[in-house]
Amino acid sequence: MNPLFEGKSHEQGRNAKVTLFDNRIERVQEKARMSLSRAKQDVEMTPLRSVTSVQTKKDGLRYTKVIVFASANTVEFRFSHADAQAFKDVLQQALLG
């Protein structure tokens, strides 16, 4: 399955790889440098069918937060301004079908 969008969310601590597919959003934070485990440390998947709305909010000079509201959950991503707009546009298009 080909992704509709791939980008990096600039988050406190460790950045996350964000991939948008036609049916889900995946966020993967790689293991911390000091971790002994080989496993990915944080993996989150949000089904698109549970997304109710999307909001953007400027976050400093370089970044924009994209806030995804899903049933009983809110997920925030922090992208460069251009990536935030691209992610929001592709996500809205996928939601509207």
Q: What is the pLDDT of residues 23-58, one digit of tens each?
A: 999 999 876 666 555 555 688 999 999 999 999 999
Residue written as token pair 């592709």: 90
pTM above 0.75, yes or no: yes
Domains defined for the chain, CATH in brackets = 5-96 (2.30.29.30)
Beta bridge partners of 73: 70
- Residue 33 is encoded by which pair of tokens? 């440098």
Q: Looking at 11-15, 29-33, 36-40, 65-69, which range is the least confident one? A: 36-40
- Residue 6 is encoded by which pair of tokens? 């791939």
- Residue 30 is encoded by which pair of tokens? 């790689």
